[in-house]
Structure 1
Amino acid sequence: MRAGRLVSMMLLLQQRGRMTADALAAELGVSVRTVYRDAEALAAAGIPIYGESGHEGGYRLVEGYRTRLTGVTETEAEALVLTGVPQAATDLGLQTELAALELKLSAALSPQQRDRAERARRLFHLDVVAWFQRSETVPMLATVANAAWEQRELKVRYRRWKEPREVERVLRPLGLVLKGGRWYLAASQGTGPVLPYKVANLLAGSKTDTPFERPDDFDLAAWWADNLTAFDARRYRGEAVVRFSPEAVERAPDHLDADTVAAIAKADRDEHDWAVATIPIETEWVASGDLMKLAGVEVLEPPTLRTMIRERAQAALDLHK
């Protein structure tokens, strides 16, 4: 208990500079007398801490003193955020640094803490890739990440879904997001909006020597959340009324998206225990393909979607005569 408090006191002084005994006592949840004893213990252990009296007084560490966590390097510190996602570290080329960092973190633990950490490693594993998917090949990822870290513009050739399919862009990379095993780049073209670019669709690219200023108010996590909300708003262009058999209801989470599954879960059941749900759809073509993955599905509305499913099913029958 006391050892942890001594480390906390040292780190507080390292981060904040001068602190009074009262302020330290409030932060650490102890008495001022305990702070005095802890300061003496740190000094006896060789930590360069000293006290100053007067109105501007308090405890300080000697100017320039920094404690290091068993010699963690700058590159290993970059990998710290990826300790829970080893696949991401591999994608970014930081697997060696991550392994070294984990060894150093382990060395800093007590034997009891090491045992608990090793037990947690055996009990829990995170796999970010969805079922029926494979990790994408992202050869440009390290280049993109390096440009984002150094705040240098990227010149890329990008493959997109609309014509012309291949375009050249000069991007300002602001961050990377790993979503369901796929990497996305948040980037702008200067004064324009920040847009998502699928890193696997970068066909070629290089970091330029042109620096850029990262907007102070840009929050990667908040931007991504807003982007997902806007994507769903654009994606759903209509609705359909569909009957799902009990078997289809059970299998729906494996084949349909979360919004459709949620709509099915809230639906009323008819006299045959089929769920009659109003579901969101992108286009009738996409909806027909998705619904045909399940047996025991009947489209009630719109008639055009019902006709499209019948025609696609008939085409499949014709191929298998």
Structure 2
Amino acid sequence: MKSSRLVSVLLLLQTRGRMTAAQLAEELEVSVRTVYRDVEALAAAGVPLYGDAGHAGGYRLLAGYRTRLTGLTADEARALLLAVPPGPAAQLGLGPVLAAARLKVRAALPAELRAHADRIGGRFHLDAPGWYADADETPYLSAVADAVWSGRVLHVTYRRWREPTDVERRLEPYGMVLKAGRWYVVAGPGPRTYRVDRILELSATDEEFTHPDDFDLTAYWTAYQRDFHRRLYRAEAVVRLAPGTRLSGPADAAVRAGGQLQDDGWTLATVPVESVDHAHAEFLRLGTGVEVLAPAALRDRIARTVAELARTYGNAPAPGGD
């Protein structure tokens, strides 16, 4: 809606300062021509904004101008209150700050939206970690977060998977990511990704670093995950799945994208796997719901395991026997 977009233009200029028409158009996902019309409408309504010509030009509000208009809708209020789970904020030492911020947002809402916000707390609870994963010990989490805020260099002893396992690293922490209950820090030079719980020792410094202007944490993490899965799943397996059997992760996506339903109701598919060892354990977990056709090494290993299980349970004494 145009009225909502006009509010967005006003708030963007208020919070970010000077912005070009192209920047506003990209942020609002509209054309530059639409931005021109919106700016004209705001000026006609008495909003004190003006444009500067030239390469470094753009639109900006008159110095000191502020609006109290928030434009929050019910959906926006819900999204805002759900945006930051209390647990991760508390881990970063921001629990009381988040609580105060939520209280201020609630107090600023009209009565109807305040009722919506109150219902959110009682009906939604966000719990990021998996069921079978214990919380990682991250004694240096707050120190890493402080370095991210202040833009200061860290010297750490880090434990990695391959030899030599314990290495010394100088980190320029660009940002942090919480993934499935586990904290990561993305740091230069590189940049590279480090698990915070694998930092064995940490020394904060007063050395400042320059955060790269072109570094986008969200874009980096998206590309990192894509590359991680590409490196992780280097092999493939051909399987048949019984009706109702579901795989997980990329394997499930492969079944949904390329699975072929057969006459007997089973589904034939080629799925990515990490290795024979990993796939062996994953497919055994599904019991008779999956048949591995290839590679031969994986099929033969599963067959040997099933035969060993049959011998073990076939020789087991009957309950109550001697």
Query: TM-score normalized by structure 1?
Result: 0.72
Does the CA contact (< 8 Å) of 2:81 and 2:117 recur in 1?
no
Check if 1:257 corresponds to 2:248: yes
Give, in whole Å, the separation in 2 of the partners of 1:234 and 1:226. Answer: 12
Aligned partners of 2:178 and 2:184 also within 8 Å: yes
The reply on whether 1:169 has 2:166 as its aligned counterpart is no
Q: Cα–Cα, structure 1 residues 207 and 316, in superposed 2: closer, same or farther, change >3 Å? A: farther
Corresponding residue of 2:274: 282
Counterpart of 1:195 in structure 2 is: 192
Partners of 2:217 and 2:297 in 1: CA distance: 41
Alpha-carbon distance change, 66 to 244 in structure 1, aligned in 2, over 3 angstroms? same
- Distance, in Å, in 1 between the alignment partners of 2:12 and 2:268 is 60
Distance 1:29 1:119 in 2: 37
Aligned positions of 1:12-23 closer than 5 A? 16=17
* SS in structure 1 at match of 2:218: helix
Q: Which residue in the other structure is 1:143 paired with?
A: 143
Greater Cα offset, 130-139 or 282-291: 130-139
The corresponding residue for 1:303 is: 296
Give the TM-score of the pair, scaled to structure 2: 0.72
Report if the CA contact (8 A) 2:254-2:270 is conserved.
yes
Match of 2:164, SS?
A: coil
Cα distance in 2, alignment partners of residues 125 and 284 from structure 1: 38
Question: How far does residue 310 in structure 1 lie from its aligned partner after superposition?
Answer: 2.7
Distance 1:207 1:257, change over 3 A: farther
How far apart, CA to CA, are the structure 2 residues paired with 1:168 and 1:303? 43
- AA aligned opposite 2:222: A
CA 13–93 in structure 1, closer or farther in 2 if over 3 Å, else same:
closer
- Give, in angstroms, the shift of residue 60 of structure 1: 7.3
1:22-61 mapped onto 2 (5 Å cutoff): 26-27=38-39, 29=41, 32=44, 34-35=45-46
What RMSD, in angstroms, separates the aligned Cα atoms of the two structures?
A: 3.6
Counterparts of 1:168 and 1:82, CA distance in 2: 38
Distance 1:81 1:272, change over 3 A: same
CA distance, structure 1, for counterparts of residue 158 and residue 106 of structure 2: 42
Deviation at 1:311, TM superposition (A): 3.2
Task: Report SS of the residue matched to 2:130.
Answer: coil
For residues 178 and 165 of structure 1, the distance between their equivalents in structure 2, rounded to whole angstroms, comes to 24
Amino acid of the structure 1 residue aligned with 2:210 = E
Distance apart, 1:81 and its partner CA: 10
Question: 2 CA distance for matches of 1:136 and 1:267?
Answer: 37
Aligned length: 273
- CA shift for structure 1 position 315: 5.1
Report the counterpart of residue 99 of structure 1 in structure 2: 99
SS at match of 1:246: coil
